[in-house]
Amino acid sequence: MKQNKIPVILASASPRRYNLLKQCGLKFSVIPSKIREKTASRNPVSIVKKLSSDKAVSVAKKLEKGIVIGADTIVVLRGSIIGKPRSKKDSKRILSLLNGSYHKVYSGVAVVDAGSGRKKVGCEVSRVKMRKLSLNEIENFSGKHMDKAGAYAVQEKNDAFVERIEGDYFNVVGLPLEKLKKLLRYFGVKLRSKTYKFRPRD
């Protein structure tokens, strides 16, 4: 694969996003954004698009050149935004709410050219069905994913919480790759496609 000449920067410290981009053959560096993840909007699409944009722009402002990628993911259950757990007890509360139900995962992704300030922003939505687990199983899962919205990680081999995904699997992981691929194309950056068919674990 021909490498991109312009530097590419991921404005995120997320190991999940880092690994996904690596697996797509992209050469990039990491400069985590330091912005506070807050917005006045209550609309999920507006929230993730604004925060992903803010993250990318905040890093781009520090650079003379480079293509900066920002991303943000939230979980929405029956109209309520489910954030990252604040404690193991809160993780148990979140998993209990999600248990056996459908929810939506919204991911915003933004690409900014640090040199020109040019920007492209997109959003992806996936619908997720959670398996019905026992109280003991929820207790065992609680506290494992304190840095993840919804307190679970669909890509973890030992997590059997997700039963079904409707939409982009990688969006649920935290980075909608096909959406990002289309946005990067505007800046002359190529991203290799990655496919994965979700199969629920026993």
Q: Which of 72, 113, 147, 202 is catalytic?
A: 72
Q: How far apart are CA 83 and CA 196, in angstroms?
A: 26
Tell me how far CA of residue 107 lies from CA of 17, 50, 173, in angstroms.
12, 11, 9
Tell me whether residue 72 is one of the annotated catalytic residues: yes
The answer to whether the CB of 162 falls within 8 A of the CB of 101 is no
- In the chain, the amino acid numbered 97 is L
CA 199, chain centre distance (Å): 20
Residue 170: left (phi > 0), alpha (psi -120 to 50), or beta?
A: alpha
Q: d(Cα 26, Cα 1) in Å, to the nearest integer?
A: 9
Q: List the structure tokens of 104.
A: 């939506």
Enter the DSSP assignment of 115.
Answer: T
> Which residues have C-beta within 8 Å of that of residue 24, sequence separation ≥ 6?
177, 191, 192, 193, 194
* 175 closest CA partner among 85, 73, 77: 73
Active site residues: 72
